[in-house]
Structure 1
Amino acid sequence: MNILIISQRCPFPPNKGEKIRTFHHLKFLTEQGHNVFLASPYEHDSELPFFATLAEHYCQQISYSRLPHKILRLLRGLLTGKALSIANFYHSTLQKKIDKQLLENSIDVIYCSASSVAEYVFNSEVIQQLIKKPRLVMDFMDVDSDKWSQYAQQTSWPLKYIYQRETTLIACFEKKIANSFEHCILITQAEVDLFKQIHGSQFAIHAIENGLDTSTFYPPPSSRERQSPRLLFAGVMDYAPNVDAVMWFINQVWPSVIEKWPQATFCIAGMDPVDKIKKLHGLSGIEITGFVEDIKPYFDNANIFVAPFRLARGVQNKVLQAFACGLPVIATPMGAEGVKCRDKQDILTASTPAEFIDCLNILMTDENKYIEISRNALTIIEDHYAWDSVLAPLQKLVTQE
């Protein structure tokens, strides 16, 4: 089959949540024998070699267009009444290239990776002209309208207005997609249930979870030292839920950690840290890495991973990565959401600063519990999160007549 994947970002290298998921979906469909075509906007010329890599190894054809300045895109969204997250990834030049791909390649399936790129489907002048119309599949990943609602609840004017506007517009767009696409996908069943709660139960919504590449993430060769906490958080550090999680932990939990364990360290590893994150570097055992070529050594050097999320949706890839590295995780219930794990057996959950300290104390003083949590988490990855296994339903969706 000929499958056109429309992605809101170049899905290579797979170094952040949405790109990891899109890349592995693309790779899986190629390995299943499908002819995969790709269309994606991009922001920087430094991304062009990544498209070349995808063309060489995975894709029959790739169309891409450089986006105008972000301020212009967002201004266009405001002036036209569009959701900003839709305007942010839309470009008329790429629309023309997508329509050209549709005319020339007898596309059987259009697979949209993220709701924002459905605009390219709705704006296409070609799709309605085709005698054989492609099947439409949407990977929402998360319920974005709920994410924007969470942001609105956590902020004040003027961002509160922007986020409320986004919540309303994205909710309408999600429902339009669900009415127009044959199949829609979310990361977890909890997200499916939330989507149906918001939009109605009549839609064909499926849960296809994230997987984990165990050739990249695996336990270190020697056991971890536990004389004092060496905490790790990993993620893109201009992403609002990541920033919120880290700042909450630093402000609410870290002073008590340092008081109890003066030699403790906290490494925040991830690209594009915002200014308030950068300013933490060097304070009371805190390290801000910025972009790193290889994240694996940071998982090996740490002895506990923290996921203190208060704004989040779906499965956190970083939690799966920690599990695969045999690194015990302390997370808020939201940070553990969607992961096949049991509290106090595979992960420790905490909602308050005092609960985080209690969980840290358990892992630092009880060696048997530390080893049990580590081994159980690794078993979960081995049993449930191999990419080929979790993506088997995707093959059925795209080939379904």
Structure 2
Amino acid sequence: MPMTNTSKTMTLLVQRQLDAITTGNGAFLETFLRTAKAAGFRVRIVFAPWHAFGNRPFASIHPRLRALIDEVVWEGTVEAGGRYWSISPRIWVRFGVRLVHELMRRAGMKVQWRNYFGRPMSSAEVVRMSRAADRDPADLTIAEYSSVGPVLDQLGQPTRKGVFVHDVLWMRAQRYREKGLAFDFYETNEAEECGWVKSADFFVHASANEMAFFPPEFPADHAVWLRPVPPEFGKIPSEGKPQVVFLGTTHAGNVDALNHFLEDIWPIILNRQPDAELKVAGSVGDAIAPALKKSPSMTLLGRVEKLEDIGGSHAIGIAPTRLATGVSIKVAEYLMLGMPVVAYPLAMEGFGGRLDGMVDIAETPDTFADTVVRLLNNAEERKRLSDGAPARTREILSNQEVADFLNAEAALKP
């Protein structure tokens, strides 16, 4: 998608810190901003003056994201030392409370501290964000996450209003509840979340399947799926000892998937294939349950600088995902690394069927183990699944449709 010179402007309304891109929401935001720039938009970010700081009075923007942003508007801050510092007393008080809680936690006390993810803003903060956006009217004004949607209600200048949906938040809450996981974020419901986005003219979804049900009965021609764009890798090894690979950062879905694999699937595999080996790459290895830390034949690699070193048709990528509301980016990364992949159906939902036939789907722990063992012992099948996978994945996950969609929505500006 070639860059174009144009005066089109997109304002993105944000209520979180943007200091990391290793997590799913950071990676998707980078993809979205790159797509917007390729479509010819000038990008302006309006931060929530209080919410976006969370529990810290200082914040930074990751250099890769900052390079894609033309203007930053963050009221109530001063910029110094490459950071934005809040001058709001409430933020500093909140920071002090958080420090006390952290001391209590280190002293062995159980402290549950909920973050600001998905939490509705006060009416005063909503008004401040809308006024900041209105001061420089944009062709598109987009709320990042539905919880920022109420700002769209207050906009007075002509603009086309959209929502960038990373997660359907009520669905995330429902799945946490089903798995018995502790909530560290605001718990919403379907009616409340739909109310937040009632002013939106269009939606950009980070998950293909979520377009079908959120918000209900919304016109399909004003919604689009932003594909995950996994990184390009260097030369991938053509040979190696067959092994199983789990790749992931530390978040609830990955932690649950890895612990489930180690407890319920890996023992079955080792019983049938005693010489099988498991490599765990990424920070998720730090979150393995204590009872599973010494699982046999498992190597924790930690952060791997060159992921292509663990790729190739001899490496079987696994996605035993039981907790997810968006796209399982690791599946696309495995394919770009030339790996055969085994996944639970939930890991594939976010792709909306686009990767059907490229991944082996297993419904149960036993069938998952069966599939992994079969692939460990069948080099020809592994090769068949991996051959051409990077090129096909790259083609399927092109975001030219999204760039065209954004330009079409901008043309509808009142």
TM-score category by the smaller chain?
A: 0.7 to 0.9
Residue 109 of structure 1, CA deviation: 2.2
**Number of residue pairs the alignment of both structures matches:** 371
- Distance in 1, Cα, partners of 2:255 & 2:319: 11
What is the TM-score when the length of structure 1 is the normalising length?
Answer: 0.78
Q: CA 1:287–1:42 in structure 2 vs 1: closer, same or farther (change >3 Å)?
A: farther
Match of 1:105 in 2: 136
Residue 104 of structure 1, CA deviation: 3.3
Question: Is residue 335 from structure 1 mapped to residue 347 from structure 2 by the alignment?
Answer: yes
Residue 254 of structure 1, CA deviation: 0.7
Instruction: Specify which of 193, 218, 226 is matched with residue 209 of structure 1.
Output: 226
Per mean C-alpha deviation after superposition, the further-off stretch among 56-65 and 293-302 is 293-302
Match of 1:222 in 2: 237
Q: CA 1:391–1:365 in structure 2 vs 1: closer, same or farther (change >3 Å)?
A: farther
Question: Is residue 394 from structure 1 mapped to residue 394 from structure 2 by the alignment?
Answer: no
Q: CA 1:355–1:272 in structure 2 vs 1: closer, same or farther (change >3 Å)?
A: closer
Match of 2:46 in 1: 39
Instruction: Specify which of 226, 236, 254 is matched with residue 249 of structure 2.
Output: 236
Contact 1:187 1:314 in 2 (8 A): yes
Instruction: Specify which of 200, 217, 229 is matched with residue 181 of structure 1.
Output: 200
- Distance in 1, Cα, partners of 2:97 & 2:190: 23
Instruction: Specify which of 139, 154, 161 is matched with residue 136 of structure 1.
Output: 161
Contact 1:219 1:300 in 2 (8 A): no
1:351-395: CA deviation from partner (whole Å, max 9, x where unpaired): 212211221122122222111111253343132113445543233
Contact 1:256 1:357 in 2 (8 A): yes
Q: Where do residues 30-109 of structure 1 align in structure 2 (5 Å cutoff)?
A: 30-40=37-47, 41-42=52-53, 48=60, 50=62, 54-63=65-74, 68-69=94-95, 85-87=117-119, 90=121, 98-99=129-130, 101-109=132-140
Instruction: Specify which of 227, 250, 261 is matched with residue 262 of structure 2.
Output: 250
Match of 2:36 in 1: 29
Question: Is residue 307 from structure 1 mapped to residue 319 from structure 2 by the alignment?
Answer: yes
- Distance in 2, Cα, partners of 1:292 & 1:142: 27
- Distance in 1, Cα, partners of 2:285 & 2:53: 20
Instruction: Specify which of 146, 150, 154 is matched with residue 179 of structure 2.
Output: 154
* 2:143 maps to amino acid: C
What is the TM-score when the length of structure 2 is the normalising length?
Answer: 0.75
Instruction: Specify every segment of 5 or more residues in structure 2 that has no aligned partner in the other structure, as ranges.
Output: 1-7, 75-83, 102-113
1:84-109: CA deviation from partner (whole Å, max 9, x where unpaired): 6433x858997687356324323332
Percent identity, please: 19
- Distance in 1, Cα, partners of 2:95 & 2:149: 21
- Distance in 2, Cα, partners of 1:301 & 1:342: 18
1:285-315: CA deviation from partner (whole Å, max 9, x where unpaired): 3234455555444446970110001121232
* 1:222 maps to amino acid: P
- Distance in 2, Cα, partners of 1:37 & 1:295: 33
Q: Name the SS for the 2:198 alignment partner.
A: helix
Match of 1:78 in 2: none
Instruction: Specify every segment of 5 or more residues in structure 1 that has no aligned partner in the other structure, as ranges.
Output: 76-81
Match of 2:211 in 1: 192
Question: Is residue 364 from structure 1 mapped to residue 379 from structure 2 by the alignment?
Answer: no
Match of 1:79 in 2: none
Per mean C-alpha deviation after superposition, the further-off stretch among 303-312 and 181-190 is 181-190
Q: CA 1:383–1:396 in structure 2 vs 1: closer, same or farther (change >3 Å)?
A: same
Q: CA 1:281–1:302 in structure 2 vs 1: closer, same or farther (change >3 Å)?
A: farther
Match of 1:347 in 2: 359
* 1:184 maps to amino acid: F
Match of 1:114 in 2: 145
Q: CA 1:269–1:149 in structure 2 vs 1: closer, same or farther (change >3 Å)?
A: same
Residue 206 of structure 1, CA deviation: 1.4
Contact 1:142 1:187 in 2 (8 A): yes
Per mean C-alpha deviation after superposition, the further-off stretch among 62-71 and 15-24 is 62-71
- Distance in 2, Cα, partners of 1:272 & 1:45: 28
1:244-263: CA deviation from partner (whole Å, max 9, x where unpaired): 11111111011122233334
Q: Name the SS for the 1:58 alignment partner.
A: coil
- Distance in 2, Cα, partners of 1:265 & 1:133: 59
Which of the pair is proportionally richer in helix?
Answer: 1
Q: Which structure is richer in relative contact order (CA contacts within 8 A, separation 6 or more)?
A: 2
- Distance in 1, Cα, partners of 2:130 & 2:276: 55
